[in-house]
Structure 1
């Protein structure tokens, strides 16, 4: 986990941006010693958003399955997951 004071973003923007890109991990910024902001590169952010969307969709499908509503065949599910994975 990479933690920096909030002043670091003003003083060392390029360094923090490089850390985000190289590690694909967020940098946590503190203000007065407490967590304040999280900074990450755009690729990591987009990847996390897509994964979050996929998890939400999978949860909805699982809820439908548990409640007995219509589901998908294994072939339909495999094709769907292949499409989602290709996007990520």
Structure 2
């Protein structure tokens, strides 16, 4: 369940910090009843960034498969061995 906090609560930095770390998800900050900002712990940010990067790479890989830009693993290993003299 997303946490929604009014902007006036940002004055209590310890409370906000604890909320970010305990919830392990973004905290939505409202101003005059409307969404204004999103804050999160560094751990949550890094996890989110990692997952976004992973999903981007998976989408590229899926596009390569659909376009036929793939090779047999045995051929790829053989090419690597030839290239590096293994």
* TM-score in terms of structure 1 length: 0.76
In the TM superposition, residue 25 of structure 1 has moved relative to its aligned partner by 1.2
Rg larger in 1 or in 2? Answer: 2
Residues 40 and 71 (structure 1), Cα distance of their counterparts in 2 relative to 1, 3 Å cut:
farther
Partner of 2:65: 65
Structure 1: 5+ residue stretches without partners: 74-88
Any runs of at least 4 consecutive aligned residues in structure 1 with deviations exceeding 6 A, and if so which?
none
* TM-score in terms of structure 2 length: 0.77
**SS of the residue aligned with 2:62?**
helix
Q: CA RMSD in A?
A: 1.4
**SS of the residue aligned with 2:29?**
strand
Structure 2: 5+ residue stretches without partners: 74-86
